[in-house]
A and B are shown apart, each in its own frame.
Chain A
Amino acid sequence: MRHILSILVENEAGALSRVAGLFSARGYNIESLTVAPTEDATLSRMTIVTTGSDEVIEQITKQVNKLVDVVKIVDLNEGKHVERELMLVKTRAVGKDRDELKRTADIFRARVIDLTEKTYVIELTGTGDKLDAFLESIDRSLILETVRTGACGLGRGEWIVKA
């Protein structure tokens, strides 16, 4: 099953490689990993999307928690949560494709954030499924490149992950 793990780590050199190294050393799967400093500059928050049985997720949580730099790890799937991912898509955009792409982007509430005579860069935020759906809705031969951040997420309401 797919799980979203939220990890607070000390914002120190090497913290990312400790976590990433643990996953590869123990053969755990990483679907996506995103990391940036938080409002507290001494902490970074990492979001890892992984898959595994309940036993595997339990081991991942325990092993990550054991890393000295890790302050906290929470499995967001244990409660209600929201998740978002950002994607940028560069497309060929000439002739009738230009309008068609713009219309599809509007339907998905995506925005064109860069355009040239021949290209668009479209920005789209949502769950991974929504991003996949957008890519399936446009003519694939027009896609020049895509980049996705991987998911990040928060618990809903009063569920707060703090150091």
Chain B
Amino acid sequence: MKLSDAPHSPSTAFATEILSGAEILCRALEAEGVEYVFGYPGGAVLVIYDEIYKQKSFSHILVRHEQAAVHAADAYSRSTGKPGVALVTSGPGVTNAVTGIATAYMDSIPMVIITGQVPTHAIGQDAFQECDTVGITRPCVKHNFLVRDVADLAETLKKAFYIAMTGRPGPVVVDIPKDVSMAKTPFVYPQTVEMRSYRPVNKGHTGQIKKAMQMLLDARQPMIYVGGGAILGDASAQVTELVRLLGFPCTNTLMGLGAFPASDRQFVGMLGMHGTVEANMAMQNSDVLIAVGARFDDRVIGNPTHFAAGNPTRKIIHIDIDPSSISKRVKVDVPIVGNIKDVLVDLIALLKAAEQKPDPAAIGEWWKQIEAWRAKDCLKYKMGGDIIKPQYVVQKLWEVTKGDAFVTSDVGQHQMWAAQYYRFDKPRRWINSGGLGTMGVGLPYAMGVKFAHPDADVACITGEGSIQMCIQELSTCKQYHLPVKVILLNNRYLGMVRQWQDFFHGNRHAESYMDALPDFVKLAEAYGHVGMKIEKPGDVEGALKDAFAMKDRLVFMDFITDQKENVFPMVPGGKGISEMILAEDL
């Protein structure tokens, strides 16, 4: 966001007004175009809530736990590209919010989290509901502020939104002591921010982009590897243009799903620990690899030494807005620091102007090889007779929603099946916790998405372990009439833990069995929603159709699925990405 394009600020009209800190906060949120604030009140933010009660520019959404407030705001941002805003009280409000903040930080989600603090004179006195918010959140925020003087509040809030949204995005915490909320000062909301210590680079280096172009044109076994940065940078149109222009294979990471359409023939599937054979083999054997907003993390390329050995002469181009992501785990030959969209626009222009084109014979050979890998059909699974296969539920969900729903997930086996079998053709449709891997995000994520896209189908694919980590939010869904669809793949196990125990811990299922589960149908009904229990494969499609036909109701669908099913392909931890275990190997 360029600051000159920032939403209209009321500063000129109200320049002479003397306002309290709480009023200034509300005005700042209005100036930033905030629609929703997800939060939970408490002592240190009572003054702020009193002002929220009086204003009309944004809606406050009352969650049932602060963690869910941050998750919902996070998903609002993931699904719209706008900053998510959460508001919590001091002490336990903050500590409850930390999981949400760390989740957003790991996935570079732009957010502003407003936290109440005890009055300035009480800071450091071990006051009631006091905690060192700035200290506790420091390692999991892009930046944080403690506002000690109301005169600094407006500028600090402007900086918070600016920092959250620019460069590599991330969450910013603004800690406001109660006396600062109450104190008054003349209100001027700045139009721009200038920070000598923070100047993100957008434009890529032309010389580097030229080098990248030449490398791509000379490639014989190229691969385009696209991560979440392409989605955060709203560059999926440019990614798609680049992939089609070059005719190269393209893979998306878990965070990048939807950046390039999954239904395109040039898409070889997700890569990584549970990636497809064709994606992982093409990565491993590529001679020129272009990474677009991706960071070569351990779940994606596995063992970096093994990866480097896959093709010792492989050349790597890496486009990323964050210089520290480059050459962190894998040595890169052509680093390009800049905004993905700007860099790709430049690269595409150069490629179009170049006389040289990729060698059709070499690329044709490469595709032949890739098609041979693809022919393994590594995502095929056997239907289980009378037992519902979890993959089948996701496939049917994709069919029933015509591949056009927003899908949130929790963390575990169901998350991987959702990523593998729901083919995302559009960016910002797949909402999950990739970096931190936070169980419990699914339902609050679905809430945040539904507020942002009230007319869209929103499905939360979850497990019986994850859903119970934020299940209280069914109450929030009732209060705000959020007709999301909960797709519970219930296998009575913490499935991913059980899968690892089967593979690496001698089948000893230590604490991975979910005993004493609630009756989810009754539970959903108790919260005022519709509950369904589906136990037969033949009922899956009909039940999904019925559920999505209930446009105005939250439907909680308890699918009783195969307890033994595992996620394949699978790269064991520490192994190379071409060292996959396939379902057929067992």
A residues at B contact (CB < 8 Å): 9-10, 13-14, 17-18, 21, 25, 55, 58-59, 62-63, 65-66, 68-71, 163
Contacts and interface: CB of A to CB of B under 8 A. Distances in A.
B324 A68 contact: no
B382 interface: no
A26 B533 CA distance: 46
A163 B197 CA distance: 8
B142 A68 contact: yes
Contact of A17 (B138, B195, B324): B138
B143 A68 contact: yes
Nearest to B141: A68
Contacts of B146: 13-14
The main secondary structure of chain A at its interface with chain B is helix
A101 B196 CA distance: 50
A66 B146 CA distance: 20
Contacts of A59: 324, 328
Interface in B189-207: 195-198
Contacts of B139: 21, 25
Contacts of B292: none
Contacts of A163: 196
Nearest to B167: A66
A14 B198 CA distance: 16
Contact of B327 (A9, A17, A25, A55): A55
Contacts, number: 37
Given A55-B327, A68-B163, 20 more contacts: A14-B134, A14-B138, A17-B135, A18-B138, A21-B139, A25-B139, A58-B327, A59-B324, A59-B328, A62-B323, A65-B323, A65-B324, A66-B322, A66-B324, A68-B142, A68-B143, A69-B197, A70-B197, A71-B196, A163-B196
Contacts of B135: 17
Contacts of A62: 323-324, 326
A10 B146 CA distance: 15
Q: Which 4 A-B pairs have the closest CB atoms?
A: A62-B324, A68-B143, A71-B197, A68-B198
Contacts of A70: 197
B458 to A, nearest CB: 34
Interface centre among B135, B197, B322, B326 (most CB of A within 10 A): B197
Contacts of A69: 143, 197
A29 B143 CA distance: 23
B83 to A, nearest CB: 16
14 contacts: A9-B197, A14-B138, A17-B135, A17-B138, A25-B139, A55-B327, A59-B324, A59-B328, A62-B324, A65-B324, A66-B322, A68-B142, A68-B198, A70-B197
Nearest to A8: B197
A21 B138 contact: yes
Interface centre among B146, B322, B323, B326 (most CB of A within 10 A): B323
Contacts of A18: 138
Contact of B324 (A10, A13, A63, A71): A63
Contacts of B327: 55, 58
Nearest to A25: B139
A76 to B, nearest CB: 20
Nearest to B140: A25
A48 B142 CA distance: 22
Contacts of A10: 197
Contacts of A63: 324
Contacts of B328: 59
B159 to A, nearest CB: 9
B201 to A, nearest CB: 11
Nearest to B198: A68
A24 to B, nearest CB: 9
A37 to B, nearest CB: 15
Nearest to B323: A62
Interface string B20-40: 000000000000000000000
